[in-house]
Each structure stands twice: as structure tokens, then as C-alpha cells.
Amino acid sequence: MPNIDRRTFLALLDRLGGADDADVLAAAREASRRVASSGLGWEDLLRPPPAPVVELTGDDAVLIDRLLGASEISQATRAELLGFKDDLAKGALDPADRKYLHDLARRIGSSV
């Protein structure tokens, strides 16, 4: 958080669930004041982090193995990847399938 002390800002946010309405209101106003004075907006603070960039190599077999190790892929995708692996073993991975493979790796991101 540029221009905002993260530790004290989080302490303010923790106070928002308190039982004392006056303390909750004071914490909310202080948090709002700090955000405004930082030059940031709430949207800046709450923006999700950018998706990690996966550096892809030319070794499709290694990429397939990495994707097969990802827990978030479906059984259908897993079967498709195994089919790609068979195609590679035969020396013929379709260019469209190769593009799909690399696009899938980019979407899954840091888990592969």
C-alpha cells in the first residue's frame, strides 16, 4: 500500500467489527481519511493482484506434465491433456492443440 502504513491501516479495519458504534465510526472515518490522503482510491486498494505470467518453454511434454499436476483442472481437461501427450509420442501435436495447451497454462498461471 503506497503512502499508507499497512499495519496501522489493518488495525483500523479490524476495529470496524467492534461493538462500540462510536469506535467503529471513528475507525471508518480514519480509514477513509488515510485513503484519501494517500492519493489512492478504495478501488486501488481492493484491486486483485495481477495474474502471474507463466514463462513457457518449447517443451510441450513437460508443460503437459505440469498441467496434469495442477489440482484445479477437470477430468475432461485431464483426459484431453493425456490425448495431447499421446499425440506428442506419435510426433504429431496439432498446432491448434498446441496453442490451446499454452493458453491453458497461461490461464492456470502460477500453479503450473
- Strands in the chain per DSSP E: none
Name the pLDDT band for 1 (thresholds 50, 70, 90): very low
Whether residue 70 sits in one domain with residue 38 = no
- pLDDT, position 31: 94
> pTM (2 decimals)?
0.46
Residue 54 lies in a domain: no
Residue 10 lies in a domain: yes
Number of domains in the chain: 2
- Give the cell for residue 30: 480514519
In this predicted structure, the answer to whether residue 12 has a pLDDT above a threshold of 90 is yes
What is the DSSP track for 48-59? PPPPPPPPP-S-
Residue 23 lies in a domain: yes
* Per-residue pLDDT tens digits for 52-109: 554 444 588 888 998 998 888 899 999 999 999 888 888 888 888 888 888 888 888 7
- Give the cell for residue 21: 458504534
Residue 52 lies in a domain: no
Residue 72 lies in a domain: yes
Which range marks the domain in which residue 89 is found? 60-111
